[in-house]
Amino acid sequence: MKKKTRRRFLSCLGAGIGTLCLVGCSSGTGGGEGLPEPRRIEGDSIAIHQIVKPSRWAVSAGKAIVQTQGTDSLFYVYRLPDFRFLYTWGRRGDGPGEFAAVTIANAWDGDTGEVMLQDFRSNALKVFSVGDTTWVQTDTLPSFPDSKVFSDDRPLAGGFLGTKKLAEGREEEYFYVRSLRDGSVLDSVPLQTVVEAQYDEQGRMYSLSRVNTPKVIARGDRVALVYELVRHIDVYQVSPEGKLHLLHSLGEPLDDAALERARTVRSRTSQRGITGFAATDRYIYTLYIEFEVSDWQAKTAEFRRGVVYRYGWDDPQVEAFELARPATDILVTGDDRSLYTRNDLEDFDRVYVYSLPQGQGAQQ
């Protein structure tokens, strides 16, 4: 790996998994408790000719949507499966129709046919359909930010809002199901997040560290809480009344030993974590990477391996595919046939595409 790539490694991971820069690791390179040994898959490269620095990407209407940093245009749209550039959409700025601060709220849901943008300036969630030449706004949904505590909102099916935030007065993170009408809480579950927060004299939070906070993936009435430290997923069904019912837990156990690794993350040089998330109607996908930290202060590290895990929404069986090339994020087409990867440690001048084995026979 090139020296300049090693220098960028830790900062790139920090952007990829929110406030958590790196995640803890236990020794060993096997499949992990309850997980299969991975099968190696080879990919082909596709050149990218636009000068783009991605911050997040998603799939919608058979197209790849790349959200960028440092450019006037916010989103670059590519045709799949050949990843051919189509057009740019959205302007960065404070003028009419422009976005000062925005992110894709449903980036990890996969191809649901729409893109949801969380507009932080207007505290609204804006829904768009992605066409061949432009985007069309189809809906605007309310958001109910907390003035004292950081919250992370995303729409759920059935007229609900999914929110991650700290419980009032406690350094404990919860996932809440709230009404889109008035923001009232309908149900909640505690999360296995290691939280450290600081508050000013008025009780307003000004510093927050969340280690092992899960990504929230939603398809229909199902919600998956996908943790960043441990290869563990909790799958819930949201009832018509907004109640959460645990369907099953997948992957490794989320136990005290795993949380202790999170608390002592900076004492370890061998690191691991989940940096890529995707979903389809049938599966949940995660990209698990291992790397070695050579210098915490200089933020340097070297990539060791990347494994994509495929979990069934309704099937507890898990498949694992080791990638032939380093990667820090993934996209998956809605038919579960093509997996795309990018490596934020390098310039975005190419993506790699892998043909995914079909069915459980892939592990045999």
> Rounded distance, CA 352 to CA 339, Å?
8
For residue 29, CA distances in Å to 58, 177, 294, 322 come to: 29, 37, 19, 11
Residue with more model confidence, 94 or 215: 215
Partners of residue 127 on adjacent β-strands: 116, 139
Percent of the chain residues past pLDDT 70, beyond the cut: 85
For residue 296, pLDDT over 70 is answered with no
Q: Tell me the pLDDT tens digit for each residue of 112-129.
A: 999 999 998 888 899 999
φ, ψ at 29 (rounded to 5°): -125, 20
- Average pLDDT on 191-206 reads 83
Q: Give the model's confidence band at 216: pLDDT under 50 very low, under 70 low, under 90 confident, else very high.
A: very high
The three-class DSSP label of residue 280 is coil
Positive or negative: CA dihedral 23, 29, 35, 38: positive
For the beta sheet containing 350-355, the strands, ordered from the edge strand earlier in sequence to the opposite edge, are 43-47, 350-355, 338-342, 329-332
The per-residue pLDDT for 1 is 41
Q: Are 144 and 90 in contact (CB under 8 A)?
A: no
- Average pLDDT on 241-267 reads 85
For residue 261, pLDDT over 80 is answered with no
Tokens of 283: 């599966």
Q: Tell me the pLDDT tens digit for each residue of 32-89.
A: 566 889 999 999 999 999 989 999 999 999 999 999 998 999 999 999 999 999 999 9
Name the fold adopted by 3-363: Neuraminidase (2.120.10)
For residue 300, pLDDT over 90 is answered with no
- Average pLDDT on 134-148 reads 88
The residue written with tokens 């925005």 in the block is 102
Q: Tell me the pLDDT tens digit for each residue of 305-320.
A: 999 999 999 887 899 9
Specify which of 25-39, 200-214, 302-316 reaches the highest per-range mean pLDDT: 302-316
For residue 220, pLDDT over 80 is answered with yes
pTM score, whole prediction: 0.88
Partners of residue 47 on adjacent β-strands: 350
How does DSSP assign 345-359, residue by residue?
TS-SSEEEEEEPPPS
For residue 187, pLDDT over 90 is answered with yes
The per-residue pLDDT for 7 is 41
Tokens of 217: 């993936």
Q: Tell me the pLDDT tens digit for each residue of 156-179.
A: 999 999 999 988 778 899 999 999
Low-confidence winner among 22-26, 139-143, 292-296, 309-313 (lowest mean pLDDT): 22-26
Q: Are 75 and 87 in contact (CB under 8 A)?
A: no
Q: Give the model's confidence band at 204: pLDDT under 50 very low, under 70 low, under 90 confident, else very high.
A: confident
> Rounded distance, CA 61 to CA 246, Å?
30
For residue 200, pLDDT over 90 is answered with no
Tokens of 78: 């590519």
> Rounded distance, CA 144 to CA 177, Å?
12
Q: What are the extents of the domains in the chain?
A: 3-363
Q: Which residues of 178-208 are buried (b: 16+ CB within 10 A; e: fewer)?
A: bebeebeebbeeebbbbbebeeeeeeebeeb
> Rounded distance, CA 312 to CA 360, Å?
10
Q: Give the strand pairing for 205-211 and 124-130.
A: unpaired
Q: Are 216 and 228 in contact (CB under 8 A)?
A: no
Q: Tell me the pLDDT tens digit for each residue of 225-237.
A: 999 988 899 999 9
- Average pLDDT on 125-149 reads 90
Closest CA to 330 of 111, 57, 38: 57
Q: Is the peptide bond before 190 cis (omega within 30 degrees of 0)?
A: no
N- to C-terminal Cα distance for the chain?
32
> Rounded distance, CA 68 to CA 245, Å?
37
For residue 273, pLDDT over 90 is answered with no
For residue 213, pLDDT over 80 is answered with yes
The per-residue pLDDT for 359 is 66
The three-class DSSP label of residue 273 is strand
> Rounded distance, CA 350 to CA 44, Å?
10
The per-residue pLDDT for 311 is 95
Q: Give the strand pairing for 194-199 and 160-166.
A: unpaired
